[in-house]
C-alpha cells in the first residue's frame, strides 16, 4: 500500500502529561483512505487533522453503517514505541465489517496504516508512567442516499489521542451494576461487532447506573436475562473457588484482545480457565459461600479493572473486601509490563513502530 504523507505547517502544542484524561486531545495528523465500489480501497494518505465535509444525506448519519477499533501505542523506557497485538484489531475489523456489509481491509494494510500514522505523530506519545497514545481506526458509509442498503463508498480514518494513566493512584476497584431491565445485544445481532449502534443502545442503562453511584453496567443475556455477558467496554472475569471463569464467546459478546491475552496468561500461570455460561444467581451463591474471590474487567483502556462491588437487584456483593486481588494485580503487571517493554515479551505480542 502506498501512503502519501502531507505534514502540517502548524504543529499543535503538546499537552501537559499530568492531565491528559482520555479521548479529549488529538494529535496533528490522521490517516484517510477511500473505498469505491469497483475500485476497492484507494488513496491512502496521512494528512493534517481536519474537519470532514460530508453531505447531510451520507448514509452513516441515518442508518449507522459504521465501525470502529481501539488500540494503543506505548513508549517504553528504552525509547521504543510498541503496539500490542495490532493484527487482532485488524482481524476484528474485518469480522465487524462482514457483519455490517462493509468491505474488508487487508490485515497488512490495516497494521501498516496504524504504524505509519503513529510514526508521523510519534512525538505525541506521552512518556509519563501509565500514559499511552490511544489509536482510533474507524470506517463510515459515505453514499449520499436515504435508502436502506449497504453503501457503495466508505471512508476509513485513524485518529490519535494521547491518553493519561487510567489509574491515578494504583488499581482502584470499581462498583458495577448488573442491568436487569435493558439489554445490550442478542445472538444473531451485532453484539460481537465493534460498532456505534451497540453503544447508542447502552447509554440509557449507563445513565441509570451512574445515577445510582455505579461506574459501569454489566449486561445480562438478551433472551433469558440470566447469564452474564460483559461490561460497557470491557469483558468480565471472575475467580470462583480457585478457577478463572469468563462468559464464553456466544455471538453477543465483543471478543476483546485483552480478554484473549488474559486467558492465555492465566493458562500460562497454571490457573484453570473456564469459558462458559455464568448466571447472576451462580455469582450470588458463590459470594454467599465465600467463593467469589475476585472479579475484574479487561479492555484496552484500563487493561485490568478490578471490581469491588457488584449490584444485582436487591443484592450488593462485596468482592475481596473491595480490594484488588492477587490475580488481577499480577495480570495487570504482566500485560502492562509487556506493553511498556519492562518485561520480556515471550508471547510475541508486541510490534515495534520504527
Ligand atoms: C472494545 C470492547 C471491549 C474490549 O476489547 P479490547 O480489545 O480488549 O479492548 C469489550 N467490550 C466491548 C463492548 C468493546 O467495545
> Do residues 39 and 100 both lie within one domain?
yes
pLDDT of residue 4: 98
Closest atom of ligand 1 to CA, residue 184: 13
Cβ neighbours around 105 below 10 Å, total: 23
Please list the ranges in the chain whose pLDDT falls under 50: none
| 159 and 178 share one domain | no
Q: What is the pLDDT of residue 172?
A: 84
Question: What pLDDT was estimated at residue 30?
Answer: 98
Q: Which residue's alpha carbon is nearest to atom 6 within ligand 1? A: 256
| pLDDT for position 166 | 76
Q: Where residue 182 sits, what CATH number does that domain have?
A: 3.20.10.10
Alpha carbon of 218 to ligand 1 centroid (Å): 13
CATH code, domain with 85: 3.30.470.10
Examine residue 317 and state whether it is found in any structural domain, yes or no.
Answer: yes
The predicted-structure confidence for 161-207, as pLDDT tens digits, reads as follows 999 987 666 678 999 999 999 999 999 999 999 999 999 999 999 99
What is the model's pLDDT at position 169?
60
Residue 131 lies in a domain: yes
- Residue ending a domain, choose from 130, 163, 196: 163
Instruction: Choose which residue among 234, 296, 301, 336 to substitute to test ligand 1 binding: the one with the highest number of ligand atoms within 8 A of its C-beta.
Output: 234
SS3 content of the chain, % helix, strand, coil (to 5): 25, 30, 45
Determine the distance separating the centroid of ligand 1 and the alpha carbon of 283, expressed in angstroms: 22
CA atoms of 136 and 166, how far apart (whole Å): 17
Looking at the structure, do residues 56 and 203 belong to the same domain, yes or no?
Answer: no
Q: What is the tens place of the pLDDT at every residue in 235-262?
A: 999 999 999 999 999 999 999 999 999 9
Number of domains in the chain: 2
- Do residue 117 and residue 238 come from a single domain? no
Positive/negative CA dihedral, 86, 91, 97, 103: positive
Q: Which domain holds residue 220?
A: 174-339
Q: What is the pLDDT of residue 168?
A: 61
Beta bridge partners of 311: 177, 316
Cα 255 to ligand 1 centre (Å): 7
Amino acid at each position: 500500500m502506498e501512503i502519501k504523507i502531507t505534514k502540517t505547517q502548524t504543529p499543535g502544542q503538546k499537552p501537559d502529561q499530568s492531565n491528559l484524561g482520555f479521548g479529549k486531545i488529538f494529535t496533528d495528523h490522521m490517516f484517510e483512505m477511500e473505498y469505491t465500489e469497483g475500485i476497492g480501497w484507494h488513496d491512502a494518505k496521512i494528512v493534517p487533522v481536519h474537519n470532514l465535509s460530508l453531505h447531510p444525506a451520507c448514509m452513516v448519519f441515518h442508518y449507522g453503517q459504521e465501525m470502529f477499533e481501539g488500540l494503543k501505542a506505548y513508549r517504553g523506557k528504552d525509547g521504543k514505541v510498541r503496539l500490542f497485538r495490532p493484527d487482532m484489531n485488524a482481524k476484528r475489523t474485518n469480522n465487524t465489517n462482514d457483519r455490517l456489509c462493509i468491505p474488508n481491509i487487508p490485515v497488512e494494510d490495516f497494521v501498516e496504516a496504524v504504524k505509519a500514522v503513529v510514526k508521523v505523530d510519534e512525538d505525541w506519545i506521552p512518556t509519563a508512567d501509565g500514559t499511552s497514545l490511544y489509536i482510533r481506526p474507524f470506517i463510515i458509509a459515505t453514499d449520499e442516499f436515504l435508502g436502506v442498503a449497504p453503501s457503495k463508498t466508505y471512508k476509513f480514518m485513524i485518529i490519535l489521542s494521547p491518553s493519561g494513566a487510567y489509574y491515578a493512584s494504583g488499581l482502584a476497584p470499581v462498583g458495577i451494576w448488573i442491568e436487569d431491565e435493558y439489554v445490550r445485544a442478542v445472538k444473531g445481532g451485532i453484539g460481537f461487532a465493534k460498532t456505534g449502534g451497540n453503544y447508542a443502545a447502552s447509554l440509557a442503562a449507563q445513565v441509570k447506573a451512574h445515577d445510582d453511584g455505579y461506574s459501569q453496567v454489566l449486561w445480562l443475556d438478551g433472551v433469558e436475562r440470566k447469564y452474564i455477558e460483559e461490561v460497557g467496554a470491557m469483558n468480565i472475569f471472575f475467580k470462583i473457588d480457585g478457577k478463572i471463569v469468563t462468559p464464553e464467546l456466544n455471538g453477543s459478546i465483543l471478543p476483546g484482545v485483552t480478554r484473549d491475552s488474559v486467558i492465555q496468561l492465566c493458562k500460562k500461570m497454571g490457573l484453570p480457565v473456564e469459558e462458559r455460561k455464568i448466571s447472576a444467581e451462580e455469582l450470588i451463591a458463590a459470594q454467599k459461600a465465600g467463593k467469589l474471590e475476585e472479579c475484574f474487567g479487561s479492555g484496552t483502556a484500563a487493561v485490568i479493572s478490578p471490581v469491588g462491588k457488584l449490584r444485582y437487584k436487591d443484592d450488593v456483593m462485596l468482592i475481596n473486601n473491595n480490594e484488588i486481588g492477587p490475580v488481577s494485580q499480577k495480570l495487570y503487571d504482566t500485560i502492562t509490563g509487556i506493553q511498556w517493554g519492562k518485561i520480556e515479551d515471550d508471547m510475541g505480542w508486541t510490534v515495534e513502530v520504527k
